[in-house]
Structure 1
């Protein structure tokens, strides 16, 4: 019979052959760990990359190699169809992938493998190594890193994957939150990936730079839905005609960035409180005239499409929060449904107006 020392030596040799040389092995606890010098080396590389404006391909490959090495010792794994698992001591914790994630995301195992690694690094900071990670706390951690995860999801979309971008102000921000709660983050589409980008307080001048930035890490979308401009109405630096001209010019520039993308104008919603206007009636007048001008321009001049939201009316106070600007749950339900229904029409027919369908001569 082999002695404990012989067994330990045999176990260490076997594991080294399986996972590569350089990892430490505790034969008593039967665990694998990364030696301190390897951790220090990795942290130095990360710090160098973070502080550098530019890195060479060789330096980046070296960092990736070190990360790949360290990952081998992490007690975590992922399954594309189900979720991920993380081991804490003797406890196995599991986390199912959010129901709102499309099948396209779940196919990217490289992305999914990053999620349990995130949990492994995050939980020790909360002193939770000794206990199992609950489902609720797992989702809470993911929520804290939601923007990071969303960026990884966006970057994971392959060249052949169709995507739809919905970009706009806080109304888009809260519409996405509502859609996530209702498990409709992808609006029920299987053939296209919905990428939301809502910026609270967004004004028109932020639209073009936002799209430029997204194009650095993503392919142009099949459809771009723009819901922006409401926060510019009544600004003393704008005239109605000047704002319309600026909006049209921006849309032309966006079209030049993404010539194969269908641009969709989502009509600015009514408000009962136009804070920058002399009166709410003035605000509504600007809104109607901008919507009419931009919808016509986008459809007829840019061969795009237009989404009206006829069920969301200012007199229906139950559709709005107390501020008279943002939508209630009922209002968000109507808003999200109109976006989903309109996109379904645009993807399956030649219609370019929703809900009505005037003839387009594009």
Structure 2
């Protein structure tokens, strides 16, 4: 996990409440199918019949989740399902950088069956980026990815709460939390209507001190384990879903 910095930086606490025990709840929401959008990058189809691939892409949350997964199984137990997992987490990534990251992955390897995206939290404190602007950016990119990966399921992992928002004005925690909630609600509705999958990480609360690293931004080992389990629960349901992609409800994520 990243080392806590002693240098003072502008920011704001997400909460002052510190319950002693962690609670866990849902790990996902319904799935349906469709695809649309536009794109401009040519990529290769997977040459391995029956082999599946998952890309997990995003910001430092993905970077540190991979570190935690490597202590046990970076393939998350999906080898038995003939599926490999490719991690791509970039620390400090903002959403504008995700398209370039996606394009580079497309040029390097075959198209995957699943792409799980966890990104957007760093944009919430970006100067000049409103919630509406961020929502529109994410929606445009989702449509583009669905055009580039017409046979791929795009999965959105909800933006997490934080105990401390770096680079935010002091006292802006409640405003940023409302912005985060608006973005998650809008993207959940949008991606489910357009054939994707949404994972609701609401069992990771800023009130739960032991789920966060001492910097208040990244997750602790326990927090990362819960997040990874949310992802695994959702993906397991996708793998086991019926061929006609009928609606299903993902089970509760537990450790």
Q: TM-score range by the shorter chain?
A: 0.7 to 0.9
Is the alpha carbon distance of 1:169 and 1:306 closer, same or farther for their aligned partners in structure 2, counting shifts above 3 Å?
Answer: same
Is 1:187 equivalent to 2:187 in the alignment?
A: no
Q: 1:284 aligns with which of 173, 177, 195?
A: 177
Structure ranking higher in helix proportion = 1
Report SS of the residue matched to 2:164: coil
Alpha-carbon distance in 2 for matches of 1:317, 1:354: 27
Where does 1:276-315 land on structure 2 (aligned, <5 Å)?
Answer: 276-278=167-169, 279-300=172-193, 302-315=194-207
- Contact 1:306/1:354 (8 A) holds in 2: no
The alpha carbon displacement at 1:158 in A equals 4.4
Q: Which runs of 5+ in 2 are unaligned?
A: 1-43
Match among 61, 64, 79 for residue 171 of structure 1: 61
Return closer, same or farther for 1:323/1:174 CA change in 2, 3 Å cut-off: same
Tell me the matched-pair count: 199
Following TM superposition, the consecutive aligned residue runs of length 4 or more in structure 1 with deviations greater than 3 angstroms are 350-356
User: Which structure has the bigger radius of gyration?
Assistant: 1
With structure 2 as the length reference, what TM-score do the two structures score? 0.74
Alignment of 1:1-362 (within 5 A): 158-160=47-49, 161-182=51-72, 184-189=73-78, 190=80, 191-278=82-169, 279-300=172-193, 302-349=194-241, 350=245, 351=247, 354-355=250-251
Q: Alpha-carbon deviations, 1:307-326, whole Å to 9, x = none?
A: 11122111001000111110
1:299–1:305 Cα change, 3 Å = same
Partner Cα separation in structure 2 for residue 283 and residue 261 of structure 1 = 32
Stretches of structure 1 that go unaligned for 5 or more consecutive residues are 1-154, 357-362
Measure the CA separation in 2 of the matches of 1:242 and 1:310.
23
State the alpha-carbon separation in 1 of the partners of residues 249 and 197 from structure 2. Answer: 6
Alpha-carbon distance, 1:179 to partner:
0.6
Deviation at residue 353 of structure 1 after TM alignment: 5.6
TM-superposition CA deviations, 1:251-284 (whole Å, max 9, x none): 1111111111100110011101122434111111
Cα 1:174–1:353, aligned 2, differ >3 Å: closer, same or farther? farther
* Structure 2 CA distance for partners of 1:253 and 1:352, relative to 1, 3 Å: farther
Q: CA-atom RMSD, angstroms?
A: 1.8
Classify 1:213/1:199 alpha carbon distance in 2 versus 1 (closer, same or farther; 3 Å).
same
